[in-house]
Amino acid sequence: MEISIYTDGAARGNPDGPGGYGTILVFVDSKGQTHMREYSQGYKKTTNNRMELLAVIVGLEKLTKPCNVKLYSDSQYVVKAFNDHWIDGWIKKGWKRGKNEPVKNVDLWKRLLEAMKPHQVEFIWVKGHNGHEMNERCDVLATAAADGSDLLDDVVQE
């Protein structure tokens, strides 16, 4: 199954302000009918990068069978981690990056890798706030979630 996932994260007062993610899944069924699902959630204290990662994770975790995924994100942090193979180096170095510094958000990177396992995922960067219809919609979902009242705790898993 071919599926497109569009994602965006937002944080107010980054870092450690409220934040949220927006994720849209789009697929065409065997009858040619297009289906779209939207997901979003806000968090009390978080960062933009954590919300960008969570948007991707949620999209992949919603898939119930192996898919060929085109994943669209305006986050260079997420897209370059895979397309420029940063993540391979981080893993090889025990989740360290240049100058032996620890990689941030390891809990979410590990969760993302797990969510990717059954799928073939192609990461595609789109310029944010540039009129891309689905990216703009994800931004609306993410910012509305960040500004909402149903905010969760962003618990970092060690």
Q: Check if 59 is active-site.
A: no
Global confidence as pTM? 0.95
The radius of gyration of the chain from alpha carbons, rounded to an integer in Å, stands at: 15
pLDDT of residue 158: 66
Q: Count other C-beta atoms under 10 Å from residue 137's C-beta.
A: 16
Is 74 considered catalytic here? Answer: yes
pLDDT at 151 over 80: yes
Answer whether 43's CB lies under 8 Å from 93's CB: no
Q: Is 101 annotated as a binding residue?
A: no
Among the listed residues 20, 74, 119, 154, the single catalytic one is: 74
Predicted confidence (pLDDT) per residue in 72-122, tens digit: 999 999 999 999 999 999 999 999 998 889 999 999 999 999 999 999 999
Helices 133-146 and 48-61: angle between axes, nearest 10 degrees: 110
Q: Which domains does the chain have, with CATH numbers?
A: 2-146 (3.30.420.10)
The type of residue at 32 is G
Instruction: List the structure tokens of 65.
Output: 């069978």
Which of 3-7, 59-63, 107-111, 152-156 has the weakest average pLDDT? 152-156
153 classed as catalytic: no
107 a catalytic residue: no
Does 38 belong to an annotated binding site? Answer: no
pLDDT at 155 over 70: yes
Q: Kindly report, residue by residue over 55-69, the tens digit of the pLDDT.
A: 999 999 999 999 999
